[in-house]
Amino acid sequence: MIFKRFDVLIVGTGISGIYAALNLDKRLNVLMLSKKELSLCNSALAQGGVAAVLDPANDEKSLHVKDTLIAGQYKNNLENVEILVEQGPRDVERLIEKYGVDFDRNADGSLALTLEGGHSRRRIAHHKDTTGKEIETRLIEQVGKLENVTVINNSVLCRLERENTMFFADVYTENGTHEYYCANFVVMATGGIGRVYKYTTNSAIATGDGIALAYELGAKIKNLSYVQFHPTAFADKKNNECFLVSEAVRGEGAYLLNCNKERFMPDYEPERKELAPRDVVSKCIMEEQKKTGSDEFWLDISYKPADFIKQHFPMIYENVLEKGYDMTKEPIPIYPCQHYLMGGINVDGKGATNIEGLYSAGECSHTGVHGKNRLASNSLLEALVFSRLIAEDINAKDLTDSRAEIEYNMSAPDGKSFSNKSEIQNEIRSIMQRAYFVYPNYEETEKGLKRIKEIKQALENGGYEINADYTETKSLATVAYIILSEIWERRNEE
């Protein structure tokens, strides 16, 4: 087979992938892949904003480090937290100055920084409640101007192999055909794993493909069981849909209420109340559920002026109104939901994995900055800082091979048709919901792990045709397998 060569292959066009591309030398020939259309990714869904010390008169980097460590239960990689906090403000400023990202401002022109759970200072730069979309849109515009970067959407990386120092990629396109590329360097920026759960805020692309492919290649995967469950996803029993109700709503004063419409967070967290870190709030909700026997919970900001709510949270206001709730007048129903992955492909302070030439950035990576639980709005910052560091590391390397095309022997993607995607994916999701949702359930983990192993082996050895459905399903099985294995191995640590 003939593989078309690029210097760098970036898998993913979310904020981490695109910011890496923007920071690579223009001499490098770069290929970017997006599984679907460019805007379908977790980056475009980010509501709250990006956290950084941007107002040094009222904030300190040591406080941002401290807040990050407290939220992460001190399981963070301190060296990388310091890189994040130290270098982050410059990357946010670059977004504004170089790429034209528009963050909300005060009347005097200064950045209107907001507060979110776990932050001791106002340090979240945001664009109303659609920050991710604003950043993603501006960066995509910029990357479109680069002659050295080719972006191909609706193309799924299905297989990645490595021989000598070259990576070989099998890409399944929307036409049902395969295309073959190779690259000296690969940046995995494939996002989260939310779709391994039934209830998630994540976009449909979040099936953990990059993590599974890196794992198969021998990359070290770390702390994949560090999954964040956001306490406030919109959860109306009439509407079978979860979408995020940003932490910033609590940051601006919303109360959490139980089924009796009583405030309960002060009983569990007398000081931090609703602004305790997300994992703490999610656990308090589950405790309160045990107490009241009801899974009905509400978020109430209706005591604030209607204009304030509409101005700060236009998208959330419209979304819940569409579902029949006016948040300026009444509480809205919420419940915890899978939201974010702290673990992933293990990388060092330059975003490099244990496999030479393979890098990882953004949600699929594990830099260790989040520890056991991510501090709100630190993930966009992590995506920016570490993807830039990856680009700088690659920029400093010599290219050992610059041929236009390379012949490589990869097995043909043919096989029997894979028709039971929904059935298998639903089974994986049900297992994960039972085994590990907010808390691990060890009995279900033991049972689930056994079954997931069978599913994974059947997929790997079934002789199926390699296409998008098969790849995503195998990725979900792999990710579920790694998460549950880790939960089981750590069962005596809690």
Ligand X SMILES: Cc1cc2nc3c(=O)[nH]c(=O)nc-3n(C[C@H](O)[C@H](O)[C@H](O)COP(=O)(O)OP(=O)(O)OC[C@H]3O[C@@H](n4cnc5c(N)ncnc54)[C@H](O)[C@@H]3O)c2cc1C
Give the footprint of ligand X on this chain (CB under 6 A). 11-17, 33-36, 41-43, 45-50, 131-132, 156-157, 189-191, 201-202, 205, 209-210, 244, 340, 362-363, 377-380, 383
What values do phi and psi take at 134, rounded to 5? -60, -50
Pick 113 or 449: Cβ nearer ligand X: 113
User: What angle, 0 to 180 degrees and rounded to 10, lies between the N-to-C axes of helices 78-97 and 61-71?
Assistant: 120
Ramachandran quadrant class, 477 (left: phi over 0; alpha: psi -120 to 50; beta: rest): alpha
Pick 139 or 449: Cβ nearer ligand X: 139
Smallest gap from Cβ 165 to ligand X, in A, equals: 22
Smallest gap from Cβ 413 to ligand X, in A, equals: 14
Task: Compute the half-sphere exposure of residue 273: CA atoms within 13 Å on the CB side of its CA.
Answer: 12
Residue ranges in 271-420 assigned as alpha helix (H): 278-292, 306-312, 314-322, 378-395
End-to-end CA distance of the chain: 50
Q: Which of 138, 159, 250, 278 is catalytic?
A: 278
Smallest gap from Cβ 124 to ligand X, in A, equals: 8
In three-state secondary structure terms, 466 is coil
Taking CA atoms, 248 is separated from 202, 255, 474, in Å, by: 18, 12, 36
Smallest gap from Cβ 444 to ligand X, in A, equals: 25
Smallest gap from Cβ 424 to ligand X, in A, equals: 17
CA distance 30 to 186: 10
Pick 323 or 447: Cβ nearer ligand X: 323
What values do phi and psi take at 182, rounded to 5? -135, 160
Pick 224 or 380: Cβ nearer ligand X: 380
Which residue in 162, 217, 483 sits closest to 344, CA to CA? 483
Beta bridge partners of 6: 183
Pick 76 or 379: Cβ nearer ligand X: 379
Smallest gap from Cβ 313 to ligand X, in A, equals: 12
Pick 23 or 379: Cβ nearer ligand X: 379
Smallest gap from Cβ 261 to ligand X, in A, equals: 26
SS (H, E, C) 381-406: HHHHHHHHHHHHHHHCCCCCCCCCEE
CA distance 123 to 331: 27
Taking CA atoms, 415 is separated from 20, 449, 467, in Å, by: 36, 27, 10
Smallest gap from Cβ 442 to ligand X, in A, equals: 28
363 in Cβ contact with 383 (< 8 Å):
yes
CA distance 86 to 60: 10
Size (the chain), residues: 494
Residue 274, both tokens: 């609703």
CA distance 470 to 455: 12
Task: Judge whether 94 counts as a catalytic residue.
Answer: no
Smallest gap from Cβ 260 to ligand X, in A, equals: 29
Pick 300 or 363: Cβ nearer ligand X: 363
Residues with Cβ within 8 Å of 307's Cβ and at least 6 positions away in sequence, in order, are none
CA distance 16 to 28: 18
CA distance 87 to 306: 38
Q: Identify the residue whose tokens are 């060092």.
A: 348
Pick 345 or 449: Cβ nearer ligand X: 345
Residue ranges in 3-77 assigned as alpha helix (H): 15-23, 61-71
Which residue in 410, 355, 474, 18 sits closest to 180, CA to CA? 410
Pick 203 or 445: Cβ nearer ligand X: 203
Positions marked catalytic: 278
